[in-house]
Amino acid sequence: MLRSLRNLFRLIGIARTLARYDALFPAEWLPATGGLVFAARLLSGFRTARDVRGLRPGERLARALQALGPSFIKFGQMLSTRSDLVGETIADDLSSLQDRLPPFSSAEAHAAIEAEFELSVDELFETFEDKPIAAASIAQVHVATILQDAESATESGTDPAETTTVAVKILRPGIEDAIARDLDLFRWIADLAERSQPRLRRLKPIAAVETFADSLRWEMDLRMEGAAASELHGNFTEDPMYVVPEVNWERTGQRVLTTQWIDGIPIHDVDDLVAAGHDLEAVVTKASESFFLQVFRDGFFHADMHPGNAFVSADGALCVVDFGIMGRIDRPTRYFLADMLLGFITRDYARVADVHFQAGYIPANTDREVFQQAIRAIGEPIFDRPPNEISIARLLAQLFQVSERFNMEAQPQLLLLQKTMLIAEGVGRRLAPELNMWQLALPLIEDWMRENRGPEARLAEITANTILAVQRLPDAVEAVERAATTITDGRLSLDLRNASSPKWPLWLAIGVTAVLAVIALAD
């Protein structure tokens, strides 16, 4: 009862904030919320903030969520990947949600570092800038310097007394408690929605909140972000033109992350890039190639590629930071994506439909011809556009919307990929409007398809599966022998009084043996 009252009062306060930004429309989508909407507008004095007048609904919602604080900013970023729920226009507006908050004090930053490592800031760093260079909803970043260790100095041939610049990311004080309170509210609303609104159950609000809670839990452990940065760095060790900062694990813990400092021009500062003499087409080419390799080669990609997280260094290398949001795609899903995109490129819409059914994304009883027709309606308009206007991200968004009408369950990893592709396309068009970044990656795409989806690759896959089956055969034979011995020794008690045929025990024994053999093979 106390929990319900507490959350109800919080909900009224949230509705009041939404009303101030004229962003109550999500509540209006739900039935039986007219009273709450009216009360919120009444409490806000029917006044709308001046700076949101004339903005689109999604832009107004983004402003309101930013005013509501960290959890709501993150929630808005999650919604920006769900165009299937909020529509493409609102999702696009939410993708520009600014994750910025006022910084916390330098005294709190020092206290957090010292509590994490039980050492003073002066012991850990040669210098430490008290004014942060960035302050977001979960953490803020400071610039510091450290002495080079002897091994690094020897490798680089530099003086061990020289310092190295690092970025120090620190969680906001009390952020865990604030997030926990907000998650309790989200869970309460989701539970209420599932119990009172049966039509909303297909959207699985409780499961969605738990997924959101999991992502926040990982984001509030900066060791996990460090591990993500380390993995991505390892994937591109041999590529000097794609730079991922190294993690300083000695100065990294649950609430503090220290990484190599990245120096460069923000990728969205076109004028500065041109003035510095950078080849913008080369930058877009590197962006498209690195993104393709992350998705298809590695199945692990940077999923927060807004312009503030990418820089171009003096030598033209593409540098990325902030690894709190990463995406993973397993090999079967990569094959699904490759086959589907190839089907669109070759206008083989039957193939696009088939891979959906083979992946189990579409219910087996769906009319395949009707689904194929819906896919054709998405693909055909693409070929009437010049290459630089073709958006693979928007094609995927339309495909997910159509597939949802055929009861395709949401695929979070694909929605995150689609939103990341949309942001990447936007950056690419800003740098080189006449180019299509996916067309630039075509040689890599062709090589990957030949190696992984061509006849030789399929033969290798069949061979590997055959070898695996052969390797499992001794276990299956052993299971058969064990089952036969059990029956022969009388340790398996069978009631055969109702058997009408004298051959029944034999057939039953064979059946039990076969089942045990199948189980052994499945294991």
**Interatomic CA distance for residues 518 and 523, integer angstroms:** 9
CA-wise closest residue to 425 among 461, 392, 467, 397: 392
The tokens for 320 are 């990325």
The tokens for 516 are 């045990």
Which residues in 297-316 are b (16+ Cβ under 10 Å) and which e?
A: ebbbbbbbbbebbbbbbeeb
Handedness of CA 116, 120, 123, 129 (dihedral sign): positive
DSSP codes, 201-230: GGG-HHHHHHHHHHHHHHHT-HHHHHHHHH
Q: What 3-state class would DSSP assign to 256?
A: strand
Amino acid occupying residue 262: I
The tokens for 449 are 């398809």
304 flagged as catalytic? yes
DSSP code at position 268: T
CB atoms within 10 A of CB 409: 13
Torsion angles phi and psi, residue 134, rounded to 5: -155, 140
Amino acid occupying residue 29: W
Q: What 3-state class would DSSP assign to 127?
A: strand
The tokens for 82 are 């769900």
The active-site residue out of 22, 92, 182, 304 is: 304
CA-wise closest residue to 375 among 395, 390, 360, 346: 395
DSSP code at position 247: B
**Interatomic CA distance for residues 263 and 275, integer angstroms:** 17
**Interatomic CA distance for residues 257 and 227, integer angstroms:** 10
**Interatomic CA distance for residues 459 and 402, integer angstroms:** 34
> Catalytic site residues?
304
